[in-house]
A and B are shown apart, each in its own frame.
Chain A
Amino acid sequence: MARKLSKPSQSKKSAPKKAVRPVVSKPKSQAKPLSKATPKKGGKKPLPLEKAPAKKAPSAPKAVLKDATKTPSKVDFSKSPFNASLKPAQKIGYLREMLRIRRFEQQALKYYNQGIMGGFLHLYNGQESVAVGTASLMNGHDEIITAYRDHGHALAVGMGMNECMAELFGKGTGCSKGKGGSMHFFAPDKHYWGGHGIVAGQTPLGLGLAFAIKYKKINGCAVAFLGDGAVNQGVFSECLNMAALWDLPIVYVIENNGYSMGTSLERSSAVNGSLAKRAEGFCVEWATCEGFDLYELRANLGAAMERARKESKPMVLEVSTYRYYGHSVADANAKKYRAPEEIELYKSDYDPITRWQNQLLKEKTVTQAQIEKIDDEAKAEAAAAVEFGIASPWPSEESIFEDIYHEVDHKTEAGQTGRFFFSE
């Protein structure tokens, strides 16, 4: 069973009645782990993960996507068609993006804890590979949308740290002019449609993006993210049906971090094998993969997105990942509903950034010195973003009544007839 630290992994033969966390082969530690966590030495080795049925070779992407029952062979995802031709600069770029997200959020956390940011702060620490991997696969016509854990996706598609940090501080220079906050970042010009606070509320919007892509005959697809808790919202089921019925080019990515707030997956979802498998009931193809390894994520998501674009077909891809902090920073129970050892294990052994660093070191794509330089730059950029955010002015009082009606904002004829706002 997932995440029971003291239990040995179960036999593969036992029918996976409960949710499966695919097994991850532990990387040999080469690079310094990013987190301060020190891997446990000696004693019982924690084995939190159940073995996943192995996948077929990624050179046959379709099989990877569908067939989760065949021969367990160790797959080298770096050879996948989506990874084989990656240039070193691209690979280093992904590392930079992941580090930027992490350092951005760590700065945000610091100031949130000082009480000078409002609202909630849902950190993406630990999940960075998913957003960065996705952004790296977007073709310029693909559209993405996510929920409230949205900082990573925002930075990954190219939003600036300054505008994002300023938004967290509630400043007029923020990406949403201080009107959205942490959960509501948007950049339509970068094909990023937010940032949505209602669990699964974004799932039909993603369907609408896919609908528009198809309607306008654009060579693209929509990728809509949701959490392992969000799959239980009725609207998501409606979406799966309509996506299949109308052949809409959408990939629903379930970022399965094992918990919805303080409720573990086992306590919130009736599952037979995986959450993605539910898609079967709607005639939607599905697959699972791990999100800790960027190559694996890119191989699987790349295939899903390509299929969506080429065949105009939906797919559900469940990605296992992990968040280090609580549901939001205000989550006082972050270490109560899960064992601290579990968190430490993920940090030390499954951290997507450490893994990618190790991978690139092994490939001799980067040196340790380069990594440190990139990291220093990310830290400096994040620190500068904080300065920018703090120094920025609050939004003007008049701005309260701006950005409500397009016609009013643009002073069109339609924006001049009748009264729009009713405060005296």
Chain B
Amino acid sequence: MPLITYRQALNDAFAEELTRDENVFLMGEEVAQYNGAYKVTEGLWKRFGSKRVIDTPISEAAFLGLGVGAAMMGLRPVVELMFWSFAYVGFDQIINNAGCVRYMSGGLINVPMVIRGPANGGTNVGATHSHTPENFLANTPGLKVVCPATPYDAKGLMISSIRDNDTVCFMENTLLYGDLGEVPEGSYTIPLGVAEVKREGLDVSLIAHGRAVLTCLAAAEILATEHGIEAEVVDLRSIRPLDEETILNSVAKTHRAILVDENKPFCGVSSQIAALLAEHAFDDLDAPVLRVTALDAPAIYSMPLEKLQLPDAQAVVAKVLSSF
């Protein structure tokens, strides 16, 4: 299988879907002629032209809303946010319109749109550019939220998201765009709502999404070699819909759960997983559910301190050891 970057995997997904379905179009700031602020859409404007790959003004509320309106009419917009952090100026359009219009119309309308872009801290760009709003969005029934960790997942989940008939908030990560992984050529889909066990183990379940999955894999390696602990790593991949079965099966096997989350701790994604485990895995657990999350402060600029703010492998290892 070819080894390509996370960025290229997404780019391939767009190219394939733009080719397959003429209702698909890409839109966002700098996505066309500039080739994308993070070069995720590189070459697509040249190949598909200005009708299908569209540069917008810096007007998130308007172009997100435009996407919703166009999707109501049957088009399939893929709207890039240069950063998910910028969604906040267009939040009304995402929550009230994309998220609620189907319900309020009694099912007469659906909004087949993908909103995508990077949502991560860790790049020293300060609090305004480091938000991870997956918890906010997943809090809205009507929206779907996807956070791929690997190039393979990025492509398969993106193709599924574009073909999905509901609005999918697709969260990428600038720190992952350059990561290499094996990705098949041609189209394939990964269903939303299906987690993946990325490493099997019997002693403890590390449950994560997005880049935190990679942190968990690194921690699992250390736990195995240095501490003789076999950690299982569960990659949620999709936050809503959520694959609870895979989570519960893993915890039933390992009897321990450590939740690793670059989201903030308060009402974060890990809070939801913790509630799930409290309700449905209580009898399986040999130790309290513990969490390693982003520190509960706005993202700091200072380079070494920002590193401290996000979960790293050492922090995960320490938390795992504390549970035994």
Contacts and interface: CB of A to CB of B under 8 A. Distances in A.
Indicate, yes or no, whether A interacts with B. yes
Interface of A: 143, 145, 174-180, 184, 186-188, 193-198, 201, 203-213, 215-216, 234-235, 238-239, 241-242, 245, 402-407, 409-410, 412-414, 417-422, 424
A197 B105 CA distance: 12
Nearest to B77: A208
B57 A238 contact: yes
Given A196-B97, A238-B57, A177 B66 contact: no
Given A187-B108, A405-B166, A406-B110, A422 B69 contact: no
Contacts of B141: 404, 420-421
A145 B105 CA distance: 13
Contacts of A193: 69, 72, 109
Given A409-B107, A417-B193, 14 more contacts: A176-B104, A176-B108, A179-B106, A193-B72, A201-B93, A204-B69, A235-B93, A238-B57, A242-B62, A405-B102, A405-B142, A406-B166, A419-B193, A420-B141
A186 B103 CA distance: 11
Contacts of B103: 179-180, 403-404
Contacts, number: 185
Interface stretch (B124-132, B172-180, B238-246): B238-246
Contacts of B123: none
A242 B54 CA distance: 12
B62 to A, nearest CB: 4
Nearest to A418: B193
Contact of B92 (A184, A201, A215): A201
B83 interface: no
B69 A206 contact: yes
Contact of B69 (A208, A402, A417): A208
Looking at chain B's contact residues, the main secondary structure is mixed
Q: 3 tightest CB-CB pairs across the interface, nearest first?
A: A208-B69, A418-B193, A204-B65
A213 B272 CA distance: 41
B104 A184 contact: yes
A95 to B, nearest CB: 29
B104 A204 contact: no
Interface string B35-69: 00000000000000001000011010111111111
Contacts of A175: 106
Contacts of B295: none
Interface of B: 25, 51, 56-57, 59, 61-75, 92-93, 96-97, 101-110, 112, 141-142, 144, 160, 163-166, 191-194, 238, 240-244, 272, 279
B73 A180 contact: no
A238 B241 contact: no
Contacts of B72: 188, 193, 205, 208-209
A208 B72 CA distance: 8
A186 B279 CA distance: 39
A401 to B, nearest CB: 9
B308 to A, nearest CB: 32
Given A207-B69, A406-B165, A406-B166, A215 B51 contact: yes
Contacts of A184: 104-105
A212 B108 contact: no
Contacts of A203: 65
Contacts of A406: 102, 107, 110, 112, 165-166
Given A198-B92, A406-B166, A418-B193, A204 B106 contact: no
